[in-house]
Amino acid sequence: MGRRLAKVEGVGIGRRLTALLFVASAAVFLLPARASAQRLSIDGDQFAIDGSRRFLTFITYFDGMNALDVAGDLQFLRDAGFDGVRLWPTRELVRADGSLDPDGLSRLQFVLDRARERRLLVDVTFTAEHVAGLDAAHFQTAIVATARALTAYDNILFDIQNERDVYGPFGRPLAQPDVASIATAIKAVHAQRIVTASITPNLSADAAARFTADTRLDVTAYHDDRVPNWYERGRLQAIVDAMRANGRPAYLQEPTRFPFPSTDRADYFIQARANAKQAGAAAWCFHTEFGFDLRHAHFRDLLASRVEPEWNFVTSVLMRARLRTSDGVHYVVAEAGGGSAVLADRVNPGEWETFVVAALDGGPPLDRDRVSLRTSNGRYLQAAGGGGNAMAAAGAAEGPWETFAIENGNGGPVRDGDVIRLRTAIDPPWYMSADRGGGGAVNANRQSPGPWETFTILVVK
């Protein structure tokens, strides 16, 4: 055919990186409105971005204050599908007398500016134990001064103390009255600032929820226990239920890393993220040791240096997938990579047959989630007129015509190899259909699903 872009099979790091950056380049010029991270707020027991509820995916970027290439790192993470990063600025920012180091504050603002430009959130986590001689009173002075200096940033939240039941001033736990006092003082400076204080599994999830409520924090941030079955649905459901008992968002801020066998493959982390979302968590953070030292290498290169679990997880955050029709032979294609017709007549899938399947409420797509399907050149699959007509790949942004409910019938995450249906998300609903089960046109003109309205979703790795 001659006009095809080179296929990317993704078996090696280099090819997978090429695929990720190809999709990213399309995302840069057509960032969807839902991805905006300019204003973080709370809606009930969930986070919201610019007023829309969204499950958030963070990654540990602790040493971002010293990163070799902040802009490059954050652009990579934005393109990879992350909503935000978790940053530890205290060592460079805070002095023992409670004053702020001017260079440290300037550097923090630089990092936050680069994040804001890329529509990323930042979890600003304080670590009093990193400043020798710092006591609780001066720690409060420093955090309040930081809150005052950062009032212009709507894309951040504050974690008053990382693992506050273990760490704090002089290497001892930060006492509950001190947490409450600091939280109140922050709110006096900036009432809208979202504030939490993270808890280790030395306390139960129930205790973490009570602590959050008693200290009037906005979010329960919990570091899940490092046990072999840490990622399983039933276990995460019980933890998240306990965390949400106070009516506040549940943020699984630091899942397990090592040394269990169940941390050596990306699939465990993929399951954990999906199970956390399904359980009702508001946010989940991928915890990687590569976030501790960013002075000498790009974050992307560090992550790519370990295929399992880091690279395989990071490249899975955005679902890139192909849709095979019910005849088992043909694939859905956006002609010219997007901007014109949608057909189901290709037997050798490449980039034109590859779509980014994104859940509009964040995180991995679950059964019945509203999703968009972005083409390789940044357009969106579209049910023209809202349904009842031919499908097109003409959408310039996510809107009602570009929104579909994805159904796999199992009530859980959409996974590689699932048989799915796609229906419009407005009334009356229309199902996407491949005429004759493949080999011809693709329409959104059936209100009752049958074989022609089923597709096998194949994740591109």
CA 85 to chain centre: 9
Of residues 424 and 4, more confidently modeled: 424
Query: Do residue 310 and residue 364 come from a single domain?
Result: no
- In whole angstroms, what separates CA 339 from the centre of its chain? 28
Parallel, antiparallel, or unpaired for β 194-196 and 156-159? Answer: parallel
Average pLDDT in the 329-343 region?
Answer: 97
Q: How many domains does the chain have?
A: 2
| DSSP 8-state class, residue 170 | G
Provide the pLDDT for residue 224.
85
Answer yes or no: do 252 and 375 share one domain.
no
What is the amino acid identity at position 81? Answer: G
91 found inside a domain:
yes
The whole-number pLDDT of residue 261 equals 57
> What are the pLDDT digits (tens) for 397-430?
999 999 999 999 999 999 999 999 999 988 889 9
- Specify whether 245 is located in the same domain as 341: no
Domain that holds residue 366: 319-459
| 255 or 233: which leads in pLDDT | 233
- Collapsed DSSP state (helix, strand, coil) of residue 225: coil
* Interatomic CA distance for residues 358 and 320, integer angstroms: 9
Q: Is residue 9, in this structure, part of any structural domain at all?
A: no
For residues 136 and 159, membership in a common domain is answered with: yes
**E strands along 404-454, which residues?**
404-407, 419-424, 431-434, 442-446
> How does the average pLDDT of the chain come out, rounded?
91
The SS3 call for residue 271 is helix
Question: Rounded to an integer, what distance in angstroms lies between the CA atom of residue 234 and that of residue 169?
Answer: 36
| pLDDT tens-digit series, residues 126-185 | 999 999 999 999 999 999 999 999 999 999 999 999 999 999 999 899 999 999 999 999
Position 35 scores a pLDDT of 43
- How many CB atoms sit inside 10 A of residue 123's CB? 28
Nearest CA to 185 among 151, 129, 125, 143?
Answer: 143
Q: Is residue 1 one of the residues assigned to a domain?
A: no
Q: What is the CA radius of gyration of the chain?
A: 23
Instruction: Examine the domain organization and report whether 104 and 138 are in the same domain.
Output: yes
Closest CA to 417 of 351, 334, 328, 338: 328
Confidence of residue 278 (pLDDT cuts 50, 70, 90): very high
Looking at this protein, which amino acid is placed at residue 193? R
Q: Where a domain ends, among 314, 349, 383?
A: 314
% of the chain surpassing 90 pLDDT: 87
- 414 with 295, same domain: the answer is no
Strands (E), 275-330: 283-286, 319-325
314, 342, 371: which is the final residue of a domain? 314
Domain end among 260, 286, 314? 314
Decide: helix, strand or coil at residue 356: strand
In a domain, 31, yes or no: no
The verdict on residue 16 lying in a domain is no
CATH of the domain at 417: 2.80.10.50
Distance between CA atoms of 403 and 375, rounded to whole angstroms? 14
Which residues lie closer than 8 Å to 345 by C-beta, 6 or more apart?
Answer: 330, 333, 438, 439, 440
pLDDT (tens digit, 9 = 90+) per residue, 15-29?
A: 344 444 434 444 433
Give dist(CA 304, CA 91) in Å, integer.
27
pTM of the model: 0.90
